[in-house]
Amino acid sequence: MDRTLTETPKGTPVGAVHELIERDFLYIGGEWVKPENGRTTDVIYPFTEEPIGRAALAGPSDVDRAVRAARAAFDDGPWSRTTPAERAAILRRAGEGIEARMEELIRLTTLEVGSPIQGVGPQVAVAKIFLDWHADQADTYPWEEDRPGIFSSLLVRREPVGVVGAIVPWNFPLGLTMPKLCPALLTGCTVVLKPPEETPLYAFVLAEIFEEAGLPPGVLNVVPADRTVSEELVKHPLIDKISFTGSTHVGSRIGSICGEQIKRFALELGGKSAAIIVEDADLETVIPKLAPETMRNSGQRCINQTRVLAPRGQYDAVVEALAATIGAFPVGDPTERETVIGPLISEAQRQRVEGYIASGTEQGARLVVGGGRPAHLERGYFVEPTLFADVDNRMTIAQEEIFGPVVAVIPYDGEDEAIGIANDSAYGLAGSVWSADPDRARSLARRVRSGNMGVNQAMLELGGPFGGFKGSGLGREYGVEGIDGYVELQQVTSPASEPLTSELRD
């Protein structure tokens, strides 16, 4: 029998887990079905290192069933032929469902990921906002538009791309599902959602919400799977587009497979964002705003400002101020409201981060704060918030995405060198510029080869296009541009008022 968090007595503390959350079924074709291979996975709470639940894992045959259900729902079902307004109504009802189960989703995400709860609440709230925003676009998005042609009358139509395979990472599972699911459903696509095996439980709640909202069978299918089985989804010939968020290494593999099949794909990949502090910046104002952005979600966020570029004349002051702020971040139970740094997702991830910390020391960086495991916590996959100074941008800790609570402070002489350091990266996802002069900051931001730049902030704006340059990905999510990624363009021509000459017609 499936057991959901709604059966937990009201008023139970977020971190209290009395029994395993059992989710033994996949969601395929509008039905809850057992995986054919009978596989399950334990879902580990990173704070206690103990299971909080168990979920079904799809095998290759289950992925095939899910894709075929989505294909049938797209080709033969009503969804792709409904109006944008009808689809928007479903999205709004799903938003209401998320609002009704918000406490459950907050608790579940905190337990699955180990994310500090102070950041989980806004993530879940944004899921509803995002659904409503996409519903609003139904009336304004240019589904069809007349254009003046060169030789004829021209109608440009936007049709759904088809069956979408959505592959989501574990660090913000619900939050990173929505920029795939919302535009896909709004445009009339059907979806096979592949949640990560580390954090699959949220997706079953999401399937229930959309089912209750009236989404037709087969339009959304949920199949948690490991990495090997996930590749079967990418390779499946009945998939029209893959949307992936994750590592650059895996993204490269996905791009290769899709390229061979001439299959649409979008990749939101890693980052090594640079925060440029200009010499005129007021550190008393900047540091309290910047420091949390260096290691949100315990460092497990692709847009964290993990390279802080400081002018040499203020370098010591920047290091000292960052050390004082970061060193004071509360580390511990992610269900406590004051916790800023929680555990990492797994022991393997902790060992990976510790390896980077060791490499920083070996390559000559100066460890200012942290670097070890918190002495007051006997269990949990914790790494102390860590600050390195005297970092050269050629060091491994300045070039590779660590995905943990580690930040490097790099000195620079002059704006040109700052821009050179910021751009000296395989990534180009995000960044920020901090200055007392916003116009100066904007001028510098324009010179950084990065898809997302902030001026005196490092916030992700969901109403605009999000994506990266270089190794940080291909395509854009969020905003109207995110909707564009789920449509195909069709031109329909008809004779112009004046007939074309035979030469032009040929």
**Residue 406, strand partner residues:** 386
User: What span, in angstroms and rounded, lies between the C-alpha atoms of 405 and 392?
Assistant: 19
User: What span, in angstroms and rounded, lies between the C-alpha atoms of 469 and 427?
Assistant: 7
The catalytic residue among 112, 268, 401, 477 is: 268
Return the pLDDT at 460.
86
User: What span, in angstroms and rounded, lies between the C-alpha atoms of 449 and 427?
Assistant: 9
By residue count, the chain amounts to 506
Helices 84-100, 102-113: axis angle to 10 degrees equals 70
Return the pLDDT at 361.
98
User: What span, in angstroms and rounded, lies between the C-alpha atoms of 289 and 87?
Assistant: 39
User: What span, in angstroms and rounded, lies between the C-alpha atoms of 163 and 221?
Assistant: 11
Question: pTM of the full predicted structure?
Answer: 0.93
DSSP H helices, 328-478, are: 347-362, 396-399, 415-423, 438-445
Q: What is the pLDDT along the chain (506 residues), one digit of tens a residue?
A: 344 443 443 334 455 555 789 999 999 999 999 999 889 999 999 999 999 999 999 999 999 999 999 999 999 999 999 999 999 999 999 999 999 999 999 999 999 999 999 999 998 999 999 999 999 999 999 999 998 899 999 999 999 999 999 999 999 999 999 999 999 999 999 999 999 999 999 999 999 999 999 999 999 999 999 999 999 999 999 999 999 999 999 999 999 999 999 999 999 999 999 999 999 999 999 999 999 999 999 999 999 999 999 999 999 999 999 999 999 999 999 999 999 999 999 999 999 999 999 999 999 999 999 999 999 999 999 999 999 999 999 999 999 999 999 999 999 999 999 999 999 999 999 999 999 999 999 999 999 999 999 999 998 898 999 999 999 999 999 999 999 999 999 999 988 764 444 443 34
What does the block give as tokens for 471? 């190794």
Helices 173-187, 102-113: axis angle to 10 degrees equals 130
Return the pLDDT at 9.
39
Those residues whose C-beta lies under 8 Å from the C-beta of residue 239, and which sit 6 or more positions away, are: 67, 163, 164, 165, 192, 233, 263
CA angle 217, 23, 172 (to 5 degrees): 85
User: What span, in angstroms and rounded, lies between the C-alpha atoms of 156 and 108?
Assistant: 44
Spell out the CATH class of 13-269+472-490. Answer: alpha beta
Burial degree of 3 (CB within 10 A; 0-12, 13-18, 19+): middle
User: What span, in angstroms and rounded, lies between the C-alpha atoms of 301 and 286?
Assistant: 20
Q: What is the DSSP string of 358-389?
A: HHHHHTT-EEEE--S--TT-SSSS----EEEE
Q: Which amino acid, one-letter code, is at 252?
A: S
Domains of the chain by residue range: 13-269+472-490, 274-455
Count CB-CB contacts under 10 A for residue 435: 22
Give the strand pairing for 469-470 and 452-455.
unpaired
Count CB-CB contacts under 10 A for residue 145: 10
User: What span, in angstroms and rounded, lies between the C-alpha atoms of 329 and 323?
Assistant: 10
Return the pLDDT at 228.
92
Superfamily (CATH H level) for 274-455: Aldehyde Dehydrogenase; Chain A, domain 2 (3.40.309.10)
Return the pLDDT at 38.
85
Q: Are 465 and 478 within 8 A, CB to CB?
A: yes
Q: What is the DSSP string of 196-210?
A: BSSS-HHHHHHHHHH
The catalytic residue among 302, 354, 384, 477 is: 302
Nearest to 191, CA basis, from 121, 91, 124, 259: 91
User: What span, in angstroms and rounded, lies between the C-alpha atoms of 71 and 236?
Assistant: 11
Whether 302 is catalytic: yes
**What 8-state DSSP symbol labels residue 278?**
-
Give the strand pairing for 487-495 and 152-160.
antiparallel
**What 8-state DSSP symbol labels residue 143?**
S
Same fold, 13-269+472-490 and 274-455: no
Give the strand pairing for 40-45 and 21-23.
unpaired
Whether 268 is catalytic: yes
Nearest to 436, CA basis, from 277, 301, 224, 254: 277
